[in-house]
Structure 1
Amino acid sequence: MNRREALFSLGTIAASLAVAPSLSAAELKGVPHETQLSDDHLPKPAIRTGGFLVLSAVERETLGAVYDRLLPADEYGPSATQAGCLEFIDSQLAGDYGSGKALYLDGPISPANELKLMGTPQFLATPLVRYRVGLEALLTYAKRHFSKPFAELSPAQIDEFLTKLEAGDVDLGAEIDSKAFFELLLQNVREGYLSDPIYGGNRNMAGWKMIGFPGARYDYRPYIDRRGENLSLIPVSLIPAD
């Protein structure tokens, strides 16, 4: 499975759920006031002030070079940076995600035990710190092995590096689990490419158009009986219409 097929498989699952033929809706009445959505459950638009919030120019260049090899531009759609994935992750790292608000970050921690119990490495560092330390390590690695900044490496060199990073075969220092760092980068670039544009990525809904996902439509009842048909629906974002 190539990179774009991986994205397509995720979108196909979401789209199939959206038009499931056996679903029906009923109006709810007398719902207790206490069950209404709180602010924590409402979508929070990406914070844009005309520039980036936490990522420095060098960090953006380094991360952009990685993102654009994970999701390069081709005949199916734009690259990760063209689709706004840097803006997406910058806004996320500047908020609750970057500060690890939803994570348990207190010690003690035993890497071997945590991996056995949780099935994945656990970290005390916040996502923002992991990005900062990881991107700095990429710069150091590139200068040591190629005598140039990471962003100036050729596509073939970056692909080879990412392949080794994914396998955990790159030594980026004692503080960094290289395989886990790759998985973090891949997860976030996917999220930026396929999330609602209200969060800064998926510019012009390019990711949704590529996989045929109809977006945040309010009502699918007109299409319930059209199973197996290509509806060719134009994606709809959570961004309020003018």
Structure 2
Amino acid sequence: MSTPTSPTRRRVLSTAAWLAASSIPGVAFARSISGALPWDANSAAPPPKLQLNGWFFFTSAEVETVTAIVDRLIPADALSPSGAECGVVVYIDRQMIGPFGRSSRLYTQGPFFLGTPRQGWQSPDTPAQRWRAGVAALERWVAANRTGRRFAALAAEEKDAVLKDVEAGKIDLGAGVDAKAFFALVLQNTMEGFFADPAYGGNKDMASWRMLGFPGARYDYRDHVDKHGQRYPLPPVSITGRPEWAGKVD
């Protein structure tokens, strides 16, 4: 363990890299001489501003089902509002029309084989296709096995029982829908919508961050790093900043 006066490996490597760079002819070190900040607030390619009203992927019937699902995975309690109240359904809806929903950054060509859990989902189906097929299959199963009702109409205990059986793969959703894989996708996206930055449509009012005491995208909280076991006293900040900061640069 190094002392404050002894060189650390990081310091030695940093010094060596600087010396190497400074010995190369023609290397220039940039510096600002304008007397002004070299950047503009919110200029670092922030996420596009989302339209929070309306639905872009889910139908109204699907919204009802997805809302019922996420509200059982994250029910309202003394710690936070429910998943839907926190914007989780909005988050998932917007993700399905974006690069994630289209699998635009994944290789989705064959051949396709049943992979191991480490290999992830092995299928040409995109997350958007899996959500649509999974919700429809779930509703067909519920209608056939719960006296024609829809999932949202079930009692809370019935919803929990159905979701537990889907998670365990005890329910045959048919139509090429893997129940366990569908539940895993639902749970993954629900957690993302609850804990992700509000810029993406979920975590409304930073409810989950406030629950955890997470500072969000604050640029500096060094004064609190060593205060272990103490709740962070300042409100969290989104990557888009706080509304009251609009037009201000400190």
TM-score bracket for this pair, using the shorter chain length: 0.7 to 0.9
> Which runs of no fewer than 5 residues in structure 1 stay unpaired?
1-25, 32-40
Q: Partners in 2 of 1:30 and 1:148 — Cα distance? A: 69
Match of 1:88 among 82, 86, 91: 91
Q: 1:115 touches 1:122 (CA, 8 Å); kept in 2?
A: no
Higher-helix-fraction structure? 1
Q: 1:72 touches 1:78 (CA, 8 Å); kept in 2?
A: yes
Counterpart in the other structure of 1:149:
150
Q: How does 1:102-141 map to 2 (within 5 A)?
A: 102-111=105-114, 114-115=115-116, 118-141=118-141
Match of 1:71 among 71, 74, 77: 74
Q: Partners in 2 of 1:174 and 1:163 — Cα distance? A: 20
**One-letter identity of the residue aligned with 1:234:** P
The number of residue pairs the alignment matches comes to: 206
**One-letter identity of the residue aligned with 1:64:** T
**One-letter identity of the residue aligned with 1:105:** T
Q: 2:50 touches 2:199 (CA, 8 Å); kept in 1?
A: no
Q: Partners in 2 of 1:150 and 1:142 — Cα distance? A: 6
How far off is 1:108 after superposition?
A: 1.1
How far off is 1:153 after superposition?
A: 1.1
How far off is 1:46 after superposition?
A: 5.5
Q: Partners in 2 of 1:161 and 1:143 — Cα distance? A: 12
Q: How does 1:42-81 map to 2 (within 5 A)?
A: 42-45=45-48, 47-48=50-51, 50-81=53-84
Q: Partners in 1 of 2:73 and 2:226 — Cα distance? A: 38
C-alpha spacing 1:201/1:45, structure 2 compared with 1 (3 Å): farther
Counterpart in the other structure of 2:38:
none
Counterpart in the other structure of 2:188:
187
C-alpha spacing 1:100/1:119, structure 2 compared with 1 (3 Å): closer
Q: Partners in 2 of 1:199 and 1:224 — Cα distance? A: 27
Q: How does 1:205-224 map to 2 (within 5 A)?
A: 205-224=206-225
Q: 1:46 touches 1:91 (CA, 8 Å); kept in 2?
A: no
Counterpart in the other structure of 2:11:
none
CA RMSD of aligned residues (A): 2.5
> Which runs of no fewer than 5 residues in structure 2 stay unpaired?
1-13, 19-27, 31-43
Q: Percent identity?
A: 40
Return the TM-score normalized by structure 1.
Answer: 0.78
How far off is 1:193 after superposition?
A: 0.5
Q: 1:54 touches 1:93 (CA, 8 Å); kept in 2?
A: yes
C-alpha spacing 1:122/1:42, structure 2 compared with 1 (3 Å): farther
SS at match of 2:116: helix
Return the TM-score normalized by structure 2.
Answer: 0.76
C-alpha spacing 1:195/1:107, structure 2 compared with 1 (3 Å): same
Q: Partners in 1 of 2:29 and 2:129 — Cα distance? A: 46
Q: Partners in 2 of 1:30 and 1:128 — Cα distance? A: 47
How far off is 1:60 after superposition?
A: 0.5
Q: Partners in 2 of 1:167 and 1:187 — Cα distance? A: 16
How far off is 1:123 after superposition?
A: 2.2
Counterpart in the other structure of 2:36:
none
Q: How does 1:161-240 map to 2 (within 5 A)?
A: 161-240=162-241
Q: Partners in 2 of 1:189 and 1:43 — Cα distance? A: 23
How far off is 1:238 after superposition?
A: 1.5
How far off is 1:44 after superposition?
A: 1.9
Q: Which has the higher contact order (CA 8 A, sep 6+)?
A: 1
C-alpha spacing 1:227/1:49, structure 2 compared with 1 (3 Å): closer
Query: Cα deviations across residues 128-163 of structure 1 (Å, max 9, x unaligned)?
Result: 000000010011111111111111111111100011
